[in-house]
Structures are given as C-alpha cells and as structure tokens.
Amino acid sequence: MRLKKGDLVKVVRGKDQGKTGKIDRVFSKVNKILVLGANQYKRHLKARSAKQPSEIATIIKPLPVSNVVFVCPKCQLSTRIGFSYEDNRKIRICKRCKQRV
C-alpha cells in the first residue's frame, strides 16, 4: 500500500465525495484507511448505568483505499505516488511534480 498515516487524501467516491482529510490509521490487510472527517456515522448508545448516560456518538468508519486519492503537499494537486531510488533507499515521489513526498 502506497499511502501512510499522516498523508493528506481526497475522497473521490461515496457520500463524502470532495472532502479532504489526513489518514489517521491504515488497515493494510483489508486495504482500508481511516480518514479524519470523512465517512462519519451516528451511533445511539443506551445508558448502561447511572454513571454512563445515553448518548449519540459519532463513529468514523474505514474507507476503501480505492475511494481516495493522494494530495501532494508540494503542488497541492491530487496525484498518484511513484517510487524512486536515492542513495540505495526507496523514496516516494509525486507523479505530477516529481518532488519527494
């Protein structure tokens, strides 16, 4: 998976199409990511005791990686990620501006 925690992504499919946010968590085995501010749902929680009242909690659900696109921090455009070798190390680069990401 080419995306990492902290990357800025833009949602291109679904109910939050057009929103941007940072990746909070990556689930590489199921190809999903958790984007802050996107794919939020409400969950009604019943009161379990007198100390814990009932509430409506906001839950962020994971998005498939195919529904988001990377946003380059240098050129601020949605782009793909490529790889290059520099001093025998593999680095990520922006496919549009060819800058290191």
Which residue ranges form the domains of the chain, and what is each CATH number? 8-94 (2.30.30.30)
Q: Contact, 45 vs 56, CB < 8 A?
A: yes
- Pick from 79, 45, 39, 76: nearest CA to 59: 39
pLDDT per position as a tens digit, 26-61: 999 999 999 999 999 999 999 998 888 999 999 999
pTM for the complete prediction?
0.86
Q: Contact, 99 vs 42, CB < 8 A?
A: no
pLDDT per position as a tens digit, 57-97: 999 999 999 999 999 999 999 999 999 999 999 999 999 99
